[in-house]
């Protein structure tokens, strides 16, 4: 970040500091982080200034929000220098590739057992169904994002505010060097490329992130199971642990049922 954010924003900021990534030089400062919890309306006010300032706000959670270092954010466990550009990746190709990897039957891999994989991804099995079609936003994407930010803060009172110089929330994750999905791929820009596509097709907005969690608002959720199944397939390719490690959804179909008329998407990588 080339400028202190308070010099760019009209919205007054609470106390905070620039965070250096943990690369060798320590020269990169991709994130401004508040010292204390974010207030309910602060995310909304800063999001409204994004077009002018280029700063995207993130509500940031921690593995241990009572830890003064607030990992991974305050501790600088970030790797922006390792990330490529989201524009270098085709989201359709990425999702198809990840789907093939996650549905491959490998007798040496027991997460989940090979015999369960095709049952989990029914009705598609190992066949990638392709991208779900986008539709005009059913509501204002920014308004949905603002409402979800308020909801998220009400659930997690210790989340902090982060500011990242990025064109969108999708790009912000790569710019800041977030490593949430590192157990599947260590280049977050690939996930940002998919998120860009969801921003365009579904009016999705990145609102919050944790150590290995991601929270989006959605302006155009599916209204029919046929569409929900295709989106569920994209989610499984993007984050298979949403089903593999879930205590609620054990198949693509049960997961898709939850997506119908739901204006937020959550992801967790083990």
Task: Say what the pLDDT of residue 119 is.
Answer: 81
Residue 190 confidence (pLDDT): 98
pTM of the model: 0.93
Q: What is the β-pairing status of strands 55-60 and 205-209? A: parallel
Distance CA 21, CA 227 (A): 40
- Residue boundaries of the structural domains of the chain: 5-91+130-268
The structure tokens listed for 129 are 């169904």
Residuewise pLDDT in 10s, the chain (270 residues): 766 888 899 999 999 999 988 764 555 789 999 999 998 799 999 999 999 999 999 999 998 878 889 999 999 999 999 999 999 999 999 999 999 999 997 656 656 665 566 789 999 999 999 999 998 877 899 999 999 999 999 999 899 999 999 999 999 999 999 999 999 999 999 999 999 999 999 999 999 999 999 999 999 999 999 999 999 999 999 999 999 998 788 899 999 999 999 999 999 999
Reading the block at residue 186, the tokens are 């260590």
Report pLDDT for 110. Answer: 55
65, 28 contact by CB (below 8 A): no
Rounded (10°) angle between helices 91-103 and 188-202: 110
């Amino acid at each position: 970040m080339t400028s202190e954010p308070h010099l760019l924003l009209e919205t007054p900021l609470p106390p905070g500091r620039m965070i250096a990534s943990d690369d060798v030089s320590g020269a990169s400062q991709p994130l401004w982080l508040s010292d204390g919890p974010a207030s309910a309306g602060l995310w909304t006010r800063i999001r409204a200034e994004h077009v002018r300032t280029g700063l995207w706000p993130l509500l940031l959670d921690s593995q241990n929000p009572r830890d003064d270092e607030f990992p991974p954010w305050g501790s600088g466990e970030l790797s922006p220098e390792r990330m490529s550009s989201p524009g270098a990746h085709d989201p359709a190709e990425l999702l198809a590739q990840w789907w093939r990897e996650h549905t491959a039957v490998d007798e040496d891999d027991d997460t989940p057992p090979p015999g369960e994989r095709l049952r989990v991804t029914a009705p598609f099995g190992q066949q990638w169904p392709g991208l779900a079609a986008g539709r005009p936003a059913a509501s204002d994407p920014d308004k949905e994002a603002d409402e979800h930010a308020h909801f998220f803060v009400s659930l997690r009172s210790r989340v902090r505010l982060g500011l990242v110089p990025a064109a969108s929330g999708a790009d912000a994750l790569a710019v800041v060097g977030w490593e949430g999905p590192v157990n599947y791929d260590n280049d977050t820009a690939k996930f940002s490329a998919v998120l860009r596509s969801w921003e365009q097709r579904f009016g999705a907005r990145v609102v919050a992130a944790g150590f290995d969690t991601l929270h989006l608002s959605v302006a155009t959720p599916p209204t029919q199971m046929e569409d929900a199944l295709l989106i569920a397939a994209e989610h499984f390719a993007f984050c298979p642990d949403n089903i593999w490690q879930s205590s609620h959804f054990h198949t693509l179909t049960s997961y898709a049922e939850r997506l119908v008329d739901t204006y937020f998407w959550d992801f967790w990588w083990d």
